Amino acid sequence: MTKVLVTGGAGYIGSHACKALKAAGFTPVTFDNFVTGWRDAVKFGPCEEGDLTDRARLDAVFATHAPVAVMHFAALSQVGESMQVPGKYWHNNVTGSLTLIEAAVAAGCMNFVFSSTCATYGEQDNVVLDEDSVQMPINSYGSSKRAIEEILRDFEASDGLRHVIFRYFNVAGADPEGEIGEHHRPETHLIPVMLDAIDGKRPALTVFGTDYDTPDGTCIRDYVHVCDLVDAHVLGLRRLLDGKGSRVFNLGTGTGFSVREVIEQSNAVTNRAVPYEEGPRRPGDCTRLVSGSTRAEAELGWTPTRSTLPVMIADAWRWHQTGHYDK
């Protein structure tokens, strides 16, 4: 079967991508250093342990598996941490990605699907962001991802490396079949932190900032279900394998929800009240990030089916209650 190298295949989005790839008839080969990934999330194909900055290890993996494409998820992804230790983000995300890109080109693997972020857009006046919106990141996480996008463009010009870049908005939910889900240590993302608070695994959710210029004073984000997101990746991969050119796609729903609205939805879905307190802003957070894109639907035929807040929270809550989350 046709192999795809999935970096970060043991992580939250990467493991869901491996499941989707397998269902689509590909063999996902996970490449992961297991710093933030989980061994029991690698269930859908072979596993190769290694670090992205280890060129010799990457060369060996490309030689062993001869993948037709790379799906590159492995990255550090915490906005707050990226503001405190930016060097860690530049080293890990940019140096690691550059080493991977060079290894892929050297191996003749010229199809590359890259996991980028709406954090590359930064704080902007326009309400919705499309792929042509100017990129002005305000945190080191976003800056590091924007740099990798530029590296991909350079390697397309020099070597013909074709790529699809997906700029994610806020990914949420879990595999509805309960095989895999979100599991970060430490957990910093809104929905799992909220579910932790409901479950008594932490005293309360802290709402980061209530003085933003939004109707209820809290930040607005566009939440997309992880299963819809990885479906788009399979479509992006097929686009490359069909010989089409490089392209950038936003992956969001076009609708934003405030932190308070997410809390309200969660109360309704779980039938439990989220304990929360109001706190100061988190450095690096934008006021509003909402995808205005219909490009993925029009050009990839992407049709998100689970990206409503009640479904995302219900799927996350079901996963949360499996006990995997407590490890």
Q: What sign has the CA pseudo-torsion 274, 278, 283, 288?
A: positive
Nearer to ligand UDP, 285 or 315 (CB): 285
The residue sitting closest to ligand UDP, measured at its beta carbon, is: 219
Interacting residues of 128 by C-beta distance below 8 A, sequence separation 6+: 254, 290, 291, 292
Structure tokens at 74: 């492995």
Residues in the site for ligand UDP, rule: CB under 6 A? Answer: 79, 170, 188-190, 193, 205-208, 219, 221, 259, 282, 285
Cβ atoms of residues 101 and 155 within 8 Å = yes
Q: How far apart are CA 61 and CA 52, in angstroms?
A: 11
Q: How far apart are CA 68 and CA 112, in angstroms?
A: 9
CA atoms within 13 A on the CB side of 171: 31
Q: How far apart are CA 291 and CA 131, in angstroms?
A: 9
Q: How far is the CB of 173 from ligand UDP (least distance, A)?
A: 13
Token pair 């089916």 in the structure block, residue: 305
> Given 141, 168, 212, 325, which residue is catalytic?
141
Nearer to ligand UDP, 22 or 282 (CB): 282
Nearer to ligand UDP, 42 or 259 (CB): 259
141 is catalytic: yes
Interacting residues of 323 by C-beta distance below 8 A, sequence separation 6+: none
Q: How far apart are CA 19 and CA 3, in angstroms?
A: 13
Nearer to ligand UDP, 161 or 274 (CB): 274
Structure tokens at 117: 């972020």
Nearer to ligand UDP, 70 or 220 (CB): 220
Q: How far apart are CA 31 and CA 41, in angstroms?
A: 12
Nearer to ligand UDP, 153 or 184 (CB): 184
Cβ atoms of residues 317 and 267 within 8 Å = no
**Residue 108: CB atoms within 10 Å:** 9
Q: How far is the CB of 207 from ligand UDP (least distance, A)?
A: 5
Q: Active-site residues: which are they?
A: 141
